[in-house]
Amino acid sequence: MDNKKNSVLIVDDETLNITALNHILSSEYTLYVTKDGASALDSVKKLKPDVILLDIVMPGMSGFDVIAAIKEDEETRDIPVIFVTGLTESAEEEKGLKLGAADYIHKPFSPAIVKLRVRNQIRIVNQMRMIRQLSITDTLTGLSNRRHFNSRLEQEWNRSIREEIPISFLMIDIDNFKKINDTYGHLAGDTVLKNTADHIKDRLKRSMDLIARWGGEEFTALLPNTDLKGALSVAEEIRIAIAECSDIPSTICVGVNCVKPNTFSDISDFIMGADKALYQAKAAGKNKVCAPD
């Protein structure tokens, strides 16, 4: 987790309430404010706040209408909503909870209660975020794991089909890795794995690129909107950087495949193409970059 502040969206049409909540929460969180339901929904989609503080009685859309829309949207349904309201009827509270509210803060509100209830939801959000991150991360290298890579591959594959753009795939394997472990020990082998991951990351800086540990001493890299020439150039940069690393001598082979997929294309063939190219590189004497014949 980084040190970036968690964010809270305040949705309230009363300036006094906004001012009070800002005074209570601004030291701990990044705050956003909207004053009506329609603009709140736009802000939720755009900002993806960690927690929403939502008034119930507003002109136009009520808070109940807003939370119903938030919970119907797959992109926003998991954002916790805390109602901040002067309504005290149990039926109103029950309705909000049925619609998916995480908690209630009643007006006039206590600063201590506001802080505690927001903090409780933020803690849950951060815990869930950490669990999700751990579930998609290789613990040794810090790269994405194979499960996450496969999920992103499918997304980028479908985007390539829609936009009619090329997509490239690198299959990377450390040469003679068993010999490295046998000669220098398994801790040194782990260092080689981490160094290899770092060299790949250093040369793939676009936010759309994805690097993963495929398993063992194999890594993969997904390069959306990249043609074969560009992918081969990146692969060669990675190969040279690793070959020149002097800490623990190691080299890699890289199999490169590139396609401009259509609805009849097969992801499995795409992966197999890179795998086949990797074996060609191994057969050619290792420390090589190859594309399918």
pLDDT at 12: 94
Instruction: Tell me the C-alpha distance between 80 and 18, whole Å.
Output: 19
Residue 27: other Cβ atoms inside 10 A? 8
| Last residue within a domain, chosen from 109, 135, 161 | 135
- DSSP SS3 for 196: helix
- CATH assignment of the domain containing 105: 3.40.50.2300
Nearest CA to 29 out of 87, 82, 78 is that of 82
**Identity of the amino acid at 157:** W
Reading the block at residue 159, the tokens are: 């985007």
Q: Note whether residue 231 is domain-resident.
A: yes
- CATH assignment of the domain containing 232: 3.30.70.270
Residues 151 and 111 occupy one common structural domain:
no
Pairing of strands 210-215, 289-290: unpaired
Residues 58 and 173 occupy one common structural domain:
no
Residues 78 and 171 occupy one common structural domain:
no
pLDDT at 3: 64
H/E element, 167: strand 167-174
Residues 187 and 269 occupy one common structural domain:
yes
Range of the domain at 61: 7-135
pLDDT at 93: 84
Residues 168 and 254 occupy one common structural domain:
yes
Alpha helical stretches, state H, 88-145: 90-98, 111-135
pLDDT at 36: 92
Residues 124 and 152 occupy one common structural domain:
no
Nearest CA to 165 out of 205, 224, 222, 208 is that of 224
pLDDT at 4: 82
> Which residue is it, tokens 């399918």?
292
Give the number of domains in the chain.
2
H/E element, 160: helix 146-163
Residues 21 and 122 occupy one common structural domain:
yes
List per-block mean pLDDT (blocks of 10 residues) for the chain, which spans 293 residues: 82 93 96 94 95 92 94 94 86 89 91 96 95 90 94 95 97 96 94 95 92 95 96 96 87 97 95 96 95 89
Instruction: Report the residue count for the chain.
Output: 293
Is 94 marked active-site?
no
Nearest CA to 8 out of 56, 44, 42, 57 is that of 44
Catalytic residue among 92, 217, 218, 236: 217
Residues 172 and 123 occupy one common structural domain:
no
pTM, two decimals, is 0.70
DSSP assignment letter at 51: E
